[in-house]
Amino acid sequence: MHAREWLNTDDRFVPGTELFRSNRAFAVWAYTISHSQLLLRTRTGGEQSRIDIVFKPVLAMKLQAEYRDGLVIRCAGQTEAEQIYAEHAGIRRDAGARCLILETGKDRDYVVTYAVGWAEDWATDRDPSELAGFAPASDPARILP
């Protein structure tokens, strides 16, 4: 896995292509409506690094609170994308939006977004993400106990 990656151009989103894979557990860490950004994060501890995955802007999503069996992110195939858009009739379908499938074990979720990126570092759970800027009222470091 690359330590830092940002994908936001058409050539990086080929239908069916795997974009990211990790055997680590991830949790939904933060979502802001104002910037439409979603942050998934691994927990740190012991000798483990922190991995942040950011989607922005998010147009639609179907998520689990936690992905305990690892996480694979891939570009949806045409049929999958059509099903996702059918579930969300209010979403304007344009060339810039990408349907990404999130897989863990036998479960499949999705995020419709314009860009996705990830970064691996040695920061703590409470430290801000290198990839996502959160307003002070929604900064996970300030609102989590």
pLDDT digits (tens, 9 = 90+) for 60-109: 999 999 999 999 999 999 999 999 999 988 887 776 899 999 999 889 99
70: exposed, middle or buried (C-beta count within 10 Å: 0-12, 13-18, 19+)?
middle
pLDDT surpassing 90 at residue 135: no
Q: Indicate the residue type of 41.
A: R
- What is the reported pTM? 0.88
Domain extent at residue 102: 4-143
- According to DSSP H, which parts of 12-120 are helical? 78-87
| Count of domains for the chain | 1
Reported confidence tier of residue 139, pLDDT bands at 50, 70, 90: low
